[in-house]
Amino acid sequence: MQFNELKLDSRIQQSIEKAGFIKPTEIQQRAIPVVLSGADLMASAQTGTGKTAAFVLPALDRILRRSKKPGNGPRVLVLTPTRELAMQVNQNIRQFSRFSKVSSGSIIGGMAYGPQLRLLRGRLDLLVATPGRLLDHMERGKVDFSRLEILVLDEADRMLDMGFIDAVKEIAEATPKSRQTLLFSATLEGQVLKVANQLLKKPESIALAASNRRHKSIQQHMHHADSKAHKQKLLEHHLESGQLFKSLVFTATKRGAEQVAKVLRGKNLKSAALHGDMSQNKRRQTVENLRKGRIDTLVATDVAARGLDIKDISHVINYDLPTVAEDYIHRIGRTGRASATGCAISLVGPADWKKLSQIEKLIGQKVKREVVDGLEPTSGEPRPASKPKRTAKPRRRFSKGAKQATTHKPGSWRQRQAGPKRSRSARVKKAA
Ligand code: ADP
Ligand code: MG
């Protein structure tokens, strides 16, 4: 299938050619006609398969047809979990609207209010926003949804993981009932499906993720590490091997990211940390440094790396395994973007084995065990834990704690965001 068969406006067609896209990806082929038809849609596809253009292109097509409604408010609203992702969606919008007159902008946390208020006062066709800041403006009566035609929930799974569920629902409720709602996600399971059923009307469903979960274009393997020091040595071994082009290293905490990046710099490896405590400008600059090749290793936390779109990342290294198994899929999806192949290496320390088995369950395959000469682990792989006895108290406490971390506490979204009052240093200590 070619792009012209999708019957998009000729100005959009022209911008697609200019972008150098030759043919639509599978999700684009299947989703674009549905979006153009006006139906609600929930769609899942692996990271890096072009979901952004799958909604940006048909949304722009709609914008190019005049609205019958008076007013200035946005006709398309895209909600994304992070600032980086919002900016990337906006870049896509600009890229594909270069031959048409379309106004777009973003409302994201961590940025000054002034320009955002100006943006909201003017005429706006497409608005990309993170839920928290958008709600802020809504509560002050600064957002006009009277013209809204399309609501897009991008990376819906992640948005829910990050605790935005009530915010997303509140925003959706403030938009016209007549709207078209589109939900994009890496998976269409559990909570995502529940929310989809609440916010979408008779949606069409396109699920491409399940069959792609194995990430065929990405080689995955792991090393058993005895300790942090062992992990660091394994990491340096790979970074110094000369086989890596650009790498993204994931740590569990912000402090961990800082520390690892610092140690690497001490070894003359060009690296930098990327995490949520850095200013928006610093984060953008750091990502740009990787893109331009001024550094070749980025040490990041999950949240900071979300939506990072750098085409030539050759390796993703899990210095720590993610707590949520789904994040493993998101992480390794940062390599092997579009058609390039990539490699994902996991360093599995004493605290990571349980996470590994959850990941292997999720991806439906064993991650290949590999040993580096001279850096062999001193102990063997722990055997999978046998079924806990009912009386095993410590175990019960553990699962209770784990549950608390993933389920949502009652109360409003804002209360939960604010959390119990803690000093800044306590918050920093808590990390990631
Ligand atoms: P996803 O949201 O599914 O993770 P993105 O929308 O971020 O994926 O797209 C991943 C990369 O693929 C981007 O760099 C994008 O420019 C590129 N891309 C998207 N669609 C196409 C296409 N039809 N042909 C070539 N590259 C594409
Ligand atoms: Mg995406």
> Which CATH number fits the domain that encloses residue 43?
3.40.50.300
Does residue 37 lie within any of the structural domains? yes
Domain C-terminal end among 151, 181, 207: 207
- pLDDT of 397 reads 37
Ligand 1 atom nearest the C-alpha of 21 is 24
Domain count along the chain: 2
Residues 6+ apart with CB under 8 A from 47: 186, 329, 330, 333, 334
Angstrom distance (rounded) from CA 333 to CA 30: 21
Considering every ligand atom, which ligand is closest to the CA of 156? Answer: 2
Q: Is residue 396 part of a domain?
A: no
Using N-to-C axis directions, what is the helix angle for 83-96 and 10-19, rounded to 10°? 110
Residue 275 sits in the same domain as residue 163? no
The answer to whether the CB of 24 is under 6 A from ligand 1 is: yes
pLDDT of residue 154: 96
- Compute the distance from residue 364 Cα to the ligand 1 centre, in Å: 25
Tokens matching residue 91: 């870049």
- The identity of residue 296, as a single letter, is D
Instruction: Provide the token pair at 231.
Output: 């992990």
Residue 207 has φ and ψ, to the nearest 5°, of: -120, 100
**Residue 409 falls inside a structural domain:** no
Structural domain contains residue 425:
no
| Ligand 2 centre distance from Cα of residue 137 (Å) | 25
Q: Is 106 helix (H, G, I), strand (E, B) or coil?
A: strand
Contact 154, 133 (CB under 8 A): no
| Residue where one domain finishes, among candidates 348, 369, 390 | 369
| 208 CA from centroid of ligand 1 (Å) | 15
Backbone angles phi, psi at 152, to 5 degrees: -115, 130
Q: Are residues 358 and 322 in the same domain?
A: yes
Host domain of residue 330: 218-369
337 lines ligand 1 (CB under 6 A): yes
Nearest partner of 145 among 118, 115, 112, 170, judged by Cα: 170
| Domain-ending residue, one of 150, 185, 207 | 207
d(CA 399, CA 404): 9
Please tell me the distance between residue 89's alpha carbon and the centre of ligand 1 in angstroms: 11
Same domain, 227 and 182: no
Question: In angstroms, rounded to a whole number, what is the distance separating the alpha carbons of residues 343 and 338?
Answer: 14
Count of CA atoms in the C-beta half-sphere (13 A) of 382:
15
Compute, in angstroms, the gap from residue 389 CA to the centroid of ligand 1.
Answer: 48
Q: Is residue 393 part of a domain?
A: no
Closest CA to 278 of 113, 84, 130: 84
- Would residue 386 count as lying in a domain? no
- Ligand 1 in contact with 47 (CB < 6 A)? yes
Contacts of residue 385, defined as CB under 8 A and 6 or more positions apart, other chains included, come to 354
Q: What is the pLDDT tens value at each position of the chain, 432 positions in all?
A: 899 999 999 999 999 999 998 899 999 999 999 999 999 999 998 878 899 999 999 999 999 988 788 889 999 999 999 998 999 999 999 999 999 999 999 999 989 999 999 999 999 999 999 999 999 999 999 999 999 999 999 999 889 888 899 999 999 999 999 999 999 998 887 788 889 999 999 999 998 865 444 566 788 999 999 999 999 999 999 999 888 889 999 999 999 999 999 999 999 999 999 998 898 889 989 999 999 999 999 999 987 777 677 878 889 999 999 988 888 888 888 887 655 678 999 999 999 999 999 898 878 788 999 999 999 999 888 876 554 444 434 443 333 334 333 333 444 455 545 544 444 444 444 444
Extract the tokens encoding 69.
């409604």
- Residue with tokens 């709609």, as numbered in its chain: 62
* Residues 282 and 328 occupy one common structural domain: yes
Say if residue 25 is in the same domain as residue 45: yes
| pLDDT score of 307 | 65
Determine which residue's CA is closest to atom 26 belonging to ligand 1. Answer: 21
Atom nearest to 23 CA in ligand 1: 23
Ligand 1, atom 2, residue with closest C-alpha:
51
Do 271 and 234 fall within a single domain?
yes
> How far does residue 23's CA lie from ligand 2's centre (Å)?
18
In a domain, 29, yes or no: yes
Q: What DSSP string describes 260-293?
A: HHHHHHHTT--EEEE-TTS-HHHHHHHHHHHHHT
193 and 225, same domain (yes or no):
no
Same domain? For 242 and 195 the reply is no
66 and 41 both lie in a single domain: yes
Return the residue whose CA atom lies nearest to atom 22 of ligand 1: 21
The pLDDT of residue 365 is 83
Ligand nearest to the CA of 16: 1
The answer to the question of residue 378 being in a domain is: no
Q: Is the dihedral of CA 63, 98, 206, 127 positive or negative?
A: negative
C-alpha–C-alpha distance, residues 432 and 421, integer Å: 17
CA distance 40 to 138: 24
Pair of tokens at residue 107:
């409302």
Residues 266, 172 share a domain: no
Per-residue pLDDT at 383: 75
Q: Are residues 358 and 262 in the same domain?
A: yes
**Most ligand 1 atoms within 8 A of CB, residue of 57, 188, 309 to mutate:** 309
Same domain, 143 and 198: yes
Q: Is the CB of 402 under 6 A from ligand 1?
A: no
